[in-house]
Amino acid sequence: MRMVSDETTRRRRIAEPSRSSANRVAFGLSAWLVGAAAATALMAAPVAAVADEAPAVDAKAKKEAGKLFREGERAFKKHDYEKAANAFETANALAPHPAALYNAAKSWQLAGELVRSANLCSRYLRDAPENEKRRPKALKLIADLTPKLGRIEIQAGDGEELKIDGATPELDVTFVSAGDHLVTAEFDGEIVERKVELVAGSLVTVKLEQPLPEPPDEEEPDDEDKKPVAPPPAPPEGWSPGIFWTGAGLTAALGAVSIWSGLDTNDARSAFDENPTREGLDDGRGKQKRTNILLATTALVGVGTGAVGIFLTDWSRKPESKEKGIALGVGPGAVQLRGRF
């Protein structure tokens, strides 16, 4: 029994790392050897942060994990923190144990890989038992790292293949560096992505949803429907030339009637001169009055027709259909005006 005790004490002394103020990390090789020897029992113990029991670890994996753990300790003492972190992380992958996981997180911090350190520390806080002795140091480490990094939480419902910058996140809330990042998820074979920008200390929740189905394609119109439709002709701005020509015809007709009336008045005067009677005088005066009215009317219609032709007629318009128009007839003692519309 004394020899066993001495051997255990010797191993414990070899396993203890330097406790300088720069690292002050409790590695404890004795704890690793004990934990590696009973890794299955330890990790299978029910704790609040672990939902499933850890898989069994065979003896060969335990032995290799112990070897890597000792290499990590030696590298740490030499301040080769990157080598130490890789050794501790590989050892934890072979035989999971809180000591290796915490030591890897601390080593990555000292190596300047803050994102990797924070995510490993979060895994330790999630997986390690509540009474694990390194938990206070892990809480302090995560508190120091959080203000320097960003965090992303993905909410994707039924989405699969969740990724941040092409890598599958290991945690519900993943630490990332400040800056731009691409978050993707797959829904029924279709990739949905979203770009986010984070500042140090921020937490961004990214919601990815399944895209809505595209509406059915509309049917292509027939060639006949594609032909451009000519716009309706602009309404004419001036009067039709037909109005002018109607006025001109009316003026000519009135002029002809006025001439006939003037000749008839002269005949009445000649008759009165040959046989002056009261009846002949009244008849002559009536015809004279008629002629004067016709002359005034002819002059008025003529002036109006001229004004229409000069100021109101749009001479660029096409002539009206032959089926429509106005016909003017002149006969003895009468003027006939006929129209067809």
Amino acid residing at 167: A
> Does residue 230 fall inside a structural domain?
no
Choose the final residue of a domain: 147, 173, 199: 147
- Residue 236: per-residue pLDDT: 62
pLDDT for residue 260? 84
Cα–Cα distance measured from residue 213 to residue 87, given in angstroms and rounded to the nearest whole number:
49
Pair 141, 123 in one domain: yes
Last residue of a domain, one of 109, 126, 147: 147
**Token couple for 205:** 């929740």
Q: Within this chain, do residues 178 and 306 fall inside the same structural domain, yes or no?
A: no
Tell whether 79 is covered by a domain. yes
pLDDT of 334: 54
Same domain, 267 and 132: no
Q: In whole numbers, what is the pLDDT of the chain averaged over residues?
A: 77
Alpha-carbon span 77 to 27, nearest angstrom: 11
Amino acid at 41: A
**Is there a domain that residue 228 lies in?**
no
- 160: enclosing H helix or E strand: strand 160-164
Token couple for 81 = 């923190």
Q: Are residues 120 and 58 in the same domain?
A: yes
92 lies in a domain? Answer: yes
Indicate whether 16 and 93 sit together in one domain.
yes
So what's the pLDDT on residue 48?
31
For residues 168 and 136, state if they share a domain. Answer: no
Which of 83-97, 186-200, 261-275 tops mean pLDDT? 83-97
pTM of the model: 0.51
pLDDT over 50 (residue 79): yes
24 three-state secondary structure? coil
Q: Concatenate the DSSP letters of all residues of 276-316 into one string.
A: --HHHHHHHHHHHHHHHHHHHHHHHHHHHHHHIIIIIB-TT
Confidence grade of residue 204 (pLDDT, cut at 50, 70, 90): very high
CA distance 159 to 211: 11
Per-position DSSP letters for 26-67, written without gaps between them: ---HHHHHHHHHTHHHHHHS--TT--SPPPP--HHHHHHHHH
Q: What is the pLDDT of residue 47?
A: 31
What pLDDT is attached to residue 317?
67
My answer on whether 37 and 142 are in the same domain is: yes
SS3 88: helix
Indicate whether 262 and 326 sit together in one domain. yes
Tokens at residue 193, please? 């992505």
217 domain-assigned:
no
Bigger pLDDT: 205 or 270? Answer: 205
Q: Is a pLDDT exceeding 50 seen at residue 1?
A: no
Spatial distance between the Cα atoms of 42 and 36, rounded to a whole number of angstroms: 9
> Is there a contact between 102 and 121 (Cβ–Cβ < 8 Å)?
yes
Are 140 and 49 in a shared domain? yes
Q: How many domains, the chain? A: 3
Q: Which residues contact 203 (CB under 8 A, 6 or more apart)?
A: 150, 151, 152, 153, 173
194 and 83 together in one domain: no
What does the pLDDT look like over 269-314, one tens digit per residue? 888 788 888 887 788 888 888 888 988 888 888 888 888 778 777 7
Token pair of 278, please? Answer: 């009261």
pLDDT (0 to 100) of residue 164? 94
- Tokens 């309706």: give the residue: 232
pLDDT above 80: residue 323: no
pLDDT of residue 34: 35
Final residue before a domain boundary, out of 128, 147, 166:
147
3-state secondary structure (DSSP) of residue 169: coil
pLDDT in tens, 135-182: 999 999 999 999 999 999 998 888 888 999 999 998 999 999 999 999
Q: Do both 191 and 266 map to the same domain? A: no
Question: Do 142 and 10 share a domain, yes or no?
Answer: yes
| Domain membership of residue 255 as a residue range | 241-340
Residue 69 pLDDT > 50, yes or no? yes
CATH of the domain at 47: 1.25.40.10
205 occurs within a structural domain: yes
Helix (H, G, I), strand (E, B) or coil at 328: strand
Instruction: Find the range with the poorest average confidence among 192-201, 210-219, 226-235, 314-323.
Output: 314-323
Question: pLDDT at position 272, please?
Answer: 79
